Structure 1
Amino acid sequence: MKVVFLKDMKGQGKKGEVKEVSEGYARNFLIPRGVVSPASEGNVKQAEELKKGEQKRKEREKEEAIELGKKLEEITVQIKTKAGEGGRLFGSITSSKIGDELAKLKLKIDKRKLVLDEPIRSLGVTQVPVKLHPEVTAKLKVHVMEE
């Protein structure tokens, strides 16, 4: 039986995909749970339209991520903190502190998008990668200064 997937189902199919599954599996399991619908002409066309809309949305998200990445590469985030001898910090600068400073600059970037392998523990300028989109990564300059 040919069916159109209405939701992603691990190991079976993705949303909008048309696939052949056994009739009993479709009628007894997939259709009652609202995961699929029978593949009629209307349902197939509707699935194709959903795919086109999804594709446009993903392209728009990528373009927005590229623009935001260009803004981030021009900005230097300055963070003041206490430091000891030799430029060692008392404590460390984490992604959440960097995210808070970005929020003060009116840039809403989730701290989980900041790819900081380990916290910053010294004074100076550090390049922090920011993963804005699966295909877009920008470099943010973080300048740590002594109070």
Structure 2
Amino acid sequence: MSKSATSHFKRLPKGQNGGIELLLIHNVEHLGRQGDLVEVKAGYALNYLLPQGLATIATDHHKRMVEKHREKLRAIELEKLKSYREQADELAKQSITIEANANDEGHLYGSVGPHEIVDALKASGITLAQDQIRLEGPLKELGLYTVKIHLHSEVDASLKVWVVPTVAAEGGEPGAS
């Protein structure tokens, strides 16, 4: 390790367990919430949290600033949470229908995954990301499924998804099979 790299590590505040103390600027799943003081390994801090702007070095000044704004941040977070819960309630009332090619026993020739669910939701005016759709596996049969949608670390919604057979085009030539 070069001399400049070792001196860089010395300036970072060390935690009780030898890691680097950081203040989270944004919520980081599986680590902490905005404003939390966390201790992480140097590589995680220097290669991910700091460059992505998710955290900052935990100086005394930053700690005081966080304490001053903690109530304001809580109010904002509660508003977001309320919005996500309202969206979850709206999604619970909805159901979407996805047409898919299937055989006579109801087995799909392909499968229905998050991409198809997101497209069907987009057609009904709801925009979600594919990674918010939580499936245990692709849907491979016709029927009604309850799909879990991850809106926030504290809010999950359920959506009813109907997978129905594709309707053949009507009005074909008589006698054609």
On whether the aligned pair clears a TM of 0.5, the verdict is yes
Q: Relative contact order (C-alpha < 8 Å, sep 6+): which is higher? A: 1
| Mapped partners of 2:36, 2:139: distance in 1 | 45
Counterpart for residue 102 of structure 2? 83
Give secondary structure in 1 for the equivalent of 2:99.
strand
The equivalent position to 1:13 in structure 2, one of 22, 30, 48, is 22
What is the alpha-carbon distance in structure 1 between the residues aligned to residue 144 and residue 115 of structure 2? Answer: 17
Alpha-carbon shift at residue 51 of structure 1 (Å): 2.0
User: What is the Cα-based RMSD across aligned positions, in Å?
Assistant: 2.4
For 2:75 and 2:127, how far apart are their aligned partners in 1?
A: 23
**Structure 1 stretches lacking a partner, 5+ long:** 1-9, 19-33
Between the aligned partners of 1:58 and 1:115, the Cα distance in structure 2 is 23
Question: Is it true that 1:130 corresponds to 2:149 in the alignment?
Answer: yes
**What stretches of structure 1 move > 3 A for 4+ residues in a row?**
15-18
* Residue 106 (structure 1) aligns with: 125
Contact 2:21 2:57 in 1 (8 A): no
Q: What one-letter code is carried by the residue in structure 1 that aligns with 2:22?
A: G
Q: Does 1:35 align with 2:54?
A: no
SS at match of 1:83: coil
CA contact (8 A) 2:146 2:158 kept: yes
Q: TM-score, normalized by length of structure 1? A: 0.72
| TM-score normalised by the chain length of structure 2 | 0.61
